[in-house]
């Protein structure tokens, strides 16, 4: 039987998923000779044999690939025979093009979990068990290709037993790059925290290995706070049912009310048994919880859930996640109950990853530390998801979900870097038809936040082998990301905040026709230099025109209004002549005179600030201790649908459709109505106002496609209602599914908007 040779090149997610071992075994089964190798971020395969077997081999490469893979065929060519005598895994090579794809973290697979629990297994209760189908990836990767020598495991030489597994084609750990065992791999150890000692001399090693895990469990049972070093950084843990422990964590972390995420044991017949004891888990939420990325998923909390009241005060939802590493599995199984698992940081800064720094900065918070000695190459926070309008959508990209790759419809003209806005920061890198969005970086306003921004910019370019030739930033000159971009030495382009929101939706869905995008959020600088946040933009990336908005109102105290909702409420009352004793008591005539004179009282159209005002007027929240608290507490009251308050929609002198919120003020200050009724009517009114704007604009433009973007649409009640009403009117509604609705998508939107602006023949759209 005559032989021929073919060569395949595959890109996509083909590294860190056991693809080379899969190819090896497939070739063996078909009795083909040749080789497979990593070629930077791609996989290259040379196979020799009869033509029919080569056809079957080529089809199986995609049809039978490992479940964790997402391979795409780049090319297949006929080549000369090399007369190979066998099939082998060849050494990795440097790529000839930019096909690199970074592998992501995956939770322990079922086989590893079974081995973890088997007393007769060599890795019984080993906290770093993994295989080709699971384990750390992005957080241990120093550079591509994905080989052990390019990871933080390079300092852990394989023992003889592990080396045999690594080299055995029949073993499921064949070429598993993070392979380790208790004899040769990383280990855990326990250290006291400063909080336990009450002195600056704490931090002595107490136990290692199994004893360290026991010490951590005992500390949790005593009501203490434990800092645990996970996959992408530290968690702060405490018993979720212990009110005193949760309050102590809040006090030490200076986090008075922001909800804590919970990690629940994944044991029993169903991994979600414990989760369902705490919350109402829908089918979509259950699928999300069990996803290999193991995100935090927001679910409705049971009234009788065995949880401390301080876990998520004044909210109807809790954030749940399943254990996502073997170490977490062991800890949760031994503890036997849910724990608070919040980011190991202080003051909203990036999550800590290094042992010494965590011991120093978290020492005043944690009573003890469960460290490990596997280096973390880069931080990755937990991803957060919420079911909104029939889909579980990301609120935060993180471990296992980012770097996120989005294939765009057209080619970027030059490799471009985008640095996002101010908070919920992400960095995006675009080249060819690829856009890569980083994990959540947080707030850039702190020194550590700015340092993380700069480090991530360098790492993304280094990992993907792309050097940016242009940088894009928000148009607000005061943002730390803007200042960095302007000073970085690359040609820079400013993009308006809400244009980036709209372009993110258009880019995710590759929408080529003009669309109407509602961009509702807190505030962002608009083209008129006012603070927008309730806009409707018509057009496409590079050609957005503002066609609708809300009646502007003052923000007494400027940025303080975002933290003190009563200020926005008072401004609405002043503009409508509505008395509000609570506001006058807090603000008084001095604040009013300052606002009327324009002193530190900018005007805004932000729907986010309308939500703040509504929460204050309804008596729900006058002062926020964290971003979005007022709106979240207002939504939590929305349990029964109510009718909308009609809001006038009129054309202003500039031809802009304006919705007047004034009728809402009287309704919201009507104390004869329960706060839950006022909240529900407020949500219904805004949803109807959005539809009224859409209908008016369709009559003029014929627009059919609607996009929703901005943090306000994280609100399930509002978004579901708006989508339902729009669908009744025949609109095609697009809401981000892969990218967050909030400012985490701004960097991607900046890429799309700036590239459109630099296209040949670009003409600035009015507004």
> Which tens digits make up the pLDDT trace of 266-315?
976 788 999 999 999 999 999 999 999 999 999 999 999 999 999 999 99
**Confidence band of 196 (pLDDT split at 50, 70, 90):** very low
Whether residue 522 contacts residue 570, with contact meaning beta carbons closer than 8 Å, is answered with: no
The pLDDT score that the predictor gives to residue 669 is 97
The pLDDT score that the predictor gives to residue 622 is 96
The pLDDT score that the predictor gives to residue 584 is 85
| CA nearest to 742, candidates 717, 699, 709 | 709
Please give the average per-residue pLDDT across 719-734, as a whole number. Answer: 98
> Which tens digits make up the pLDDT trace of 311-369?
999 999 999 999 999 999 999 999 999 999 999 998 778 999 999 999 999 999 999 99
Q: What is the pTM of this model?
A: 0.94
| CA nearest to 608, candidates 697, 718, 739 | 718
Whether residue 438 contacts residue 430, with contact meaning beta carbons closer than 8 Å, is answered with: no
Q: How far is CA 73 from the centre of its chain?
A: 28
What is the rounded distance in angstroms from the CA atom of residue 168 to the CA atom of residue 270?
A: 33
**Confidence band of 13 (pLDDT split at 50, 70, 90):** confident
Strand-pair category, 296-301 with 279-280: antiparallel
Helix, strand or coil for residue 93?
strand
Strand-pair category, 515-525 with 603-604: unpaired
The pLDDT score that the predictor gives to residue 767 is 57
Whether residue 277 contacts residue 268, with contact meaning beta carbons closer than 8 Å, is answered with: no
The pLDDT score that the predictor gives to residue 533 is 97
Count of CB atoms within 10 A of residue 157's CB? Answer: 11
Tokens of 84: 């190979």
The pLDDT score that the predictor gives to residue 110 is 94
Whether residue 408 contacts residue 506, with contact meaning beta carbons closer than 8 Å, is answered with: no
Q: Provide the CB-side half-sphere exposure for 327 (13 A, CA).
A: 25
Tokens of 319: 């954030």
Q: Does residue 765 carry a pLDDT above 60?
A: no
Tokens of 459: 């790492």
Fold of 515-736: Nucleotidyltransferase; domain 5 (3.30.420)
Q: DSSP character for 475?
A: S
Which CATH architecture is the domain 413-495+742-767 placed in? 2-Layer Sandwich (3.30)
Q: DSSP character for 602?
A: -
Please give the average per-residue pLDDT across 255-267, as a whole number. Answer: 95
pLDDT above 90: percentage of residues in the chain = 85
Q: Does residue 197 carry a pLDDT above 90?
A: no
Whether residue 36 contacts residue 51, with contact meaning beta carbons closer than 8 Å, is answered with: no
What is the rounded distance in angstroms from the CA atom of residue 582 to the CA atom of residue 570?
A: 9
Fold of 4-89: Alpha-Beta Plaits (3.30.70)
What is the rounded distance in angstroms from the CA atom of residue 626 to the CA atom of residue 101?
A: 36
Fold of 188-372: DHBP synthase (3.90.870)
φ/ψ of residue 648, rounded to 5: -60, 140
Please tell me if the domain spanning 4-89 has the same topology as the one spanning 413-495+742-767.
Answer: no
The pLDDT score that the predictor gives to residue 201 is 46
Count of CB atoms within 10 A of residue 594's CB? Answer: 16
Q: DSSP character for 567?
A: H
Q: Does residue 650 carry a pLDDT above 60?
A: yes
- Mean pLDDT for the chain overall: 93
Task: Cite the DSSP H helix spans in 134-272.
Answer: 160-167, 194-197, 210-221, 243-253
**Confidence band of 220 (pLDDT split at 50, 70, 90):** very high
Q: Does residue 761 carry a pLDDT above 70?
A: no
The domain 102-185 having CATH identifier 3.90.870.30: the answer here is yes
Task: Cite the DSSP H helix spans in 200-269.
Answer: 210-221, 243-253
| CA nearest to 265, candidates 340, 192, 329, 181 | 329
Please give the average per-residue pLDDT across 545-569, as a whole number. Answer: 95
> Which tens digits make up the pLDDT trace of 44-100?
999 999 999 999 999 999 999 998 888 889 999 999 999 889 999 999 886 555 567
Sequence spans of domains, the chain: 4-89, 102-185, 188-372, 413-495+742-767, 515-736
The pLDDT score that the predictor gives to residue 145 is 83
Please give the average per-residue pLDDT across 723-739, as a whole number. Answer: 97
The pLDDT score that the predictor gives to residue 591 is 87
The pLDDT score that the predictor gives to residue 67 is 82
């Amino acid at each position: 039987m005559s032989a021929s040779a073919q060569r395949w090149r595959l890109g996509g997610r083909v590294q860190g998923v056991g693809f080379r071992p899969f190819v090896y075994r497939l070739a063996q089964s078909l009795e083909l000779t040749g080789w497979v190798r990593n070629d930077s971020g791609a996989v290259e395969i040379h196979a020799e044999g009869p033509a029919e077997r080569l056809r079957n081999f080529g089809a199986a490469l995609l049809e039978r690939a490992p479940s964790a893979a997402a391979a795409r065929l780049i090319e297949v060519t006929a080549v000369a025979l090399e007369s190979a005598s066998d099939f082998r895994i060849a050494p990795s090579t440097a790529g000839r093009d930019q096909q690199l794809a970074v592998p992501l973290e995956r939770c322990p697979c079922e086989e590893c979990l079974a081995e973890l629990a088997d007393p007769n297994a060599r890795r019984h209760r080993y906290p770093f068990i993994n295989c080709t189908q699971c384990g750390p990836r992005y957080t241990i990767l120093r550079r591509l290709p994905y080989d052990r020598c390019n990871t933080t495991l390079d300092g852990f030489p394989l023992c003889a037993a592990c080396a045999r597994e690594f080299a055995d084609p029949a073993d499921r750990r064949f070429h598993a790059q993070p392979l380790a065992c208790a004899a040769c791999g990383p280990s855990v150890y326990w250290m006291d925290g400063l909080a336990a000692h009450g002195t600056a001399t704490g931090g002595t090693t107490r136990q290692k290995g199994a004893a360290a895990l026991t010490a951590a469990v005992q500390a949790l049972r005593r009501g203490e706070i434990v800092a645990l070093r996970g996959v992408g950084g530290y968690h702060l843990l405490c018993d979720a049912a212990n009110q005193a422990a949760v309050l102590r964590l809040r006090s030490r972390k200076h986090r008075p009310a922001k909800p804590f995420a919970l990690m629940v044991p994944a044991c029993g017949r169903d991994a979600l048994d414990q989760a369902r004891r705490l919350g109402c888990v829908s089918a979509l939420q259950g699928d999300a919880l069990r996803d290999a990325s193991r995100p935090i998923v927001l679910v409705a909390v049971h009234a009788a859930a065995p949880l401390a009241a301080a876990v998520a005060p004044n909210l109807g939802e809790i954030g749940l996640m399943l254990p996502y590493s073997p170490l977490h599995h062991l800890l949760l199984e031994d503890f036997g109950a849910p724990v608070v698992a919040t980011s190991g940081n202080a003051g909203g800064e990036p999550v800590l990853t290094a042992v010494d720094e965590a011991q120093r900065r978290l020492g005043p918070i944690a009573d003890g530390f469960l460290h490990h000695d596997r280096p973390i190459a880069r931080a990755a926070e937990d991803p957060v998801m919420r079911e909104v309008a029939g889909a579980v959508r990301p609120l935060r990209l993180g471990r296992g979900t980012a770097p996120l790759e989005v294939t765009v419809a057209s080619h970027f003209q030059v490799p471009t870097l985008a640095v996002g806005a101010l908070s919920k920061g992400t960095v995006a890198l675009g080249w060819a038809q690829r856009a890569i969005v980083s994990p959540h970086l947080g707030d850039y306003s702190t020194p550590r936040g700015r340092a993380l921004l700069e480090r991530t910019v360098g790492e993304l370019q280094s990992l993907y082998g792309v050097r940016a030739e242009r940088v894009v930033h928000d148009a607000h000159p005061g943002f730390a990301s803007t200042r960095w971009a302007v000073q970085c030495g690359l040609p820079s382009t400013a993009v308006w905040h809400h244009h980036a929101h709209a372009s993110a939706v258009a880019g995710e869905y590759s929408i080529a026709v003009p669309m109407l995008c509602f961009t509702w959020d807190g505030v962002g600088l608009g083209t008129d230099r006012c603070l927008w946040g309730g806009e409707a933009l018509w057009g496409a990336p590079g050609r957005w025109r503002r066609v609708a908005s809300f009646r502007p109102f003052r923000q007494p105290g400027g940025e303080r209004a975002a933290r003190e909702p009563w200020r926005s409420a008072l401004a609405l009352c002043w503009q409508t002549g509505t008395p509000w004793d609570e506001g006058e008591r807090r603000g008084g005539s001095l604040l009013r005179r300052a606002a009327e004179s324009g002193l530190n009282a900018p005007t805004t159209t932000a729907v986010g600030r309308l939500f703040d005002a509504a929460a204050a007027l309804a008596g729900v929240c006058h002062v926020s201790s964290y971003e979005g608290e007022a709106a979240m507490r207002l939504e939590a009251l929305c349990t029964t649908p109510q009718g909308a308050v009609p809001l006038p929609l009129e054309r202003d002198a500039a031809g802009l459709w304006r919705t007047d919120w004034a009728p809402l003020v009287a309704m919201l200050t009507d104390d004869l109505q329960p706060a839950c009724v006022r909240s529900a009517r407020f949500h219904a009114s805004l949803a109807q106002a959005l539809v009224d704007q859409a209908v008016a604009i369709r009559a003029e433009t014929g627009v059919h496609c609607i996009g929703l973007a901005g943090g306000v649409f994280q609100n399930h009640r509002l978004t579901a209602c708006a989508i339902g009403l729009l669908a009744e009117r025949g609109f095609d509604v697009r809401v981000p599914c892969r990218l967050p609705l909030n400012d985490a998508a701004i960097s991607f939107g900046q890429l799309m908007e700036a590239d459109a602006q630099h296209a040949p023949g670009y003409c600035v759209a009015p507004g």
